[in-house]
Structure 1
Amino acid sequence: MADPRTTSSGPLNGVRVLDLTRVMSGPFSTMVLADLGADVIKVEEPGVGDDTRQWGPPFIGEESTYFLSINRNKRSLAVDLKSEGGRAAVLELARRSDVVVENFRPGVATKLGLGYEALSAENPGLVYASISGYGQASSESRKPGYDPMMQARSGLMSITGDVEGLPARVGVATADISAGLWTAIGILAALHHRSVTGQGQSLDISLLDAQVSWLTNVASAWFASGEVPGRYGTGHPSIVPSEAFRTQDGLLMVAAGNDAMWFRMAGALGVPELSADARFATNASRVSHRDELRSELEKVLSSDVTSTWLNRLDAAGVPAARVNSIGEALTDPLLAEREMVVELEHATVGPVRSVGSPLKLSATPTTMRHAPPVLGQHTIDILREVGLDEDLVEDMIRRGQASDHQARRPQEPSHA
């Protein structure tokens, strides 16, 4: 009988993804697909694995929390792609896969014999996604791409941070995560196209492109006016008030997205006269007089605790939220209600918690089947699936061209 923890009932059940990625963008993308039910086989270098296995502290036991955060629901195959046996195994998997995802530097996959042209010749329906810093064939394609460079070059950093301070990097890898999401979206679109036509295709996802896509309304404003946007701290360039204010015991984020909401907000704060002031009567005038309005609201909100203001603003239907620490956010009861914190049993370190999937599908929900794998946890099982000779598998393990976690476990004492 199938183990319900590892059997998928998601919308991508039956889709096999060969994951040749590492670090953040690719693994995040393939975890999205795995949560949706795909069988994701993560190919890693024997004895080393994904770079993020060494990124720490913090660690849980010997496992990096960074790696654990983006690799659940996957199987780990540890083979040396530079060895004949390792390449043969991966080529056979590619023939049997629906999707390949890689984030080598452009040209590396082709040199390994794992580029789109080679693999699609054997598997015409293959969907092949490549993630790189600057695109597969651009004038800068060979440059290494890392998230902070993308936040800087895209302009995102220039509009992030305190008004009078230096530009700031967003505290998570926004370019990587965005590229991962765009990759997953592109793969789903390509799989739909294949279901209609039978044809696979390649995807070229750039970290820089993904980060620039975040500019949206900021870019539109610059296209129209040519004015270079500045930094607004927690504020908004075109909506006022929309920022964090200090209370007696913390910070409160408020946002009045239209004039009616502002009138309700002023009433809830006990200062209805502010909404009648000509300087603050319309959003356009509030934007022009943001400093004066901020000063007035700071006086009011600093006079009481956050919970008092939250209760009043919630009752008035005005968007407001406490500025939480990460710990406060992750223990918010609403996240538990929304199943946004999940716990899975890891092969060596026991229960591991991670952020759940925001995808809530009514008929084919995401599934949390198993924790991120130990390096090489599924090597022998996967090599058997593709029909490799048992002697060849053992020889690869002896030579260090493959590794299997089970093969390295100490033997259980005999009770015979």
Structure 2
Amino acid sequence: MGIYEELKARGLIAQVTDEEEIRELLNNGKAVFYIGFDPTADSLHVGHFMALCLMKRLQMAGNKPIALIGGGTGMIGDPSGRSDLRQMMTTETICHNCDAFKKQMERFIEFGEGKAMMVNNADWLMKLNYVDMLREVGCCFSVNNMLRAECYKQRMEKGLSFLEFNYMIMQSYDFYHMFQAFGCNMQFGGDDQWSNMLGGTDLIRRKLGKDAYAMTITLLMNAEGKKMGKTASGAVWLDPNKTSPFDFYQYWRNVGDADVLKCIRMLTFLPLEEIDAMDKWEGSQLNRAKEILAYELTKLVHGEDEAEKAQETARALFSGTGDAENMPATVLSEDRFENGKIGVLNLLTACGLCASNGEARRLVQQGGVMVSDKKAEVTDVYDREDFSGEGVVIKKGKKIFHRAQI
């Protein structure tokens, strides 16, 4: 089985422009492909996870990845999947986020001479003269066709700014530039990027002739991947300072029964034969599948030691035999206490388990909080001394454990 057939078997490929040519390139290690990442935060999250795993798979098969950081397109913001205008970021923030992305990507992709590249589209987009850009690139785009694209149609009712309207042109120019500068002959992206990607392929062929070699391929990243990056409390980050290895493990350990084998197939590097054997698993066996998923992905992102710790801690906590050593923890500062005491609502917000006192109040009233193995009441108050030593263990719902200490 070639790498292209493996991607299909894992459920990763949604659409392609020319399947035979793409299969030939990928299976023979001739693809120089890029995936773009706009630096909207200072950490990647699990919504990016599928793309990173894909880059790793293709590099292992002999293909050359280009990780494109959107330092230039990030100045505008992608309207895809948005109901309103993205918050404008400063140049300094974008640069900081780009640096953070590279450090995290190095866990997945091998960079260096003749290996993977990392480039920043600010290096060419920020140098463009606007009038020259309109004359060279703008003439190749039909406004009518652009407005029919899904990424713009969904914004038309609430209003689409002219700033965002330029995003497709800029993303298309990225492919055009990298085709010429780096020999990039393929682009990957989520299914929400299909119109933007086709724009890049069409621009290359219009500017350089129909024989210009450029391919597009999309993954099930919007429906199946990007939604993975969000939970009720926010994003699940790859940065351990934002999402601890234990919380990361628990996120995957708690996926739904209907999704666990799909996630194992798409995101882990376990052999397909081994995964196919799991298709018959049901009942308690699915819990074992969830442990496998959580362990494999935590090992991939945070290393084997952290994956072992997270798994041991999770098993011990749920069996009632474990201590709090490897549990996510918050160190409470002195100003959190008033006269040496802290109420349960302030405790939950201080630990980041609730976004506000109002949310904390609702959670406690619904019986969803345990503190030191006792169901919390809204009026509960704790002494500063309670948090000494290993601290206090808070249980939110059935699956989230947290330790608070001074």
Question: TM-score when scaled to structure 1?
Answer: 0.26
Structure possessing the higher relative contact order (Cα contacts under 8 Å, 6 or more residues apart): 1
Higher helix share: 2
Rg comparison, structure with higher value: 1
Question: TM-score when scaled to structure 2?
Answer: 0.26
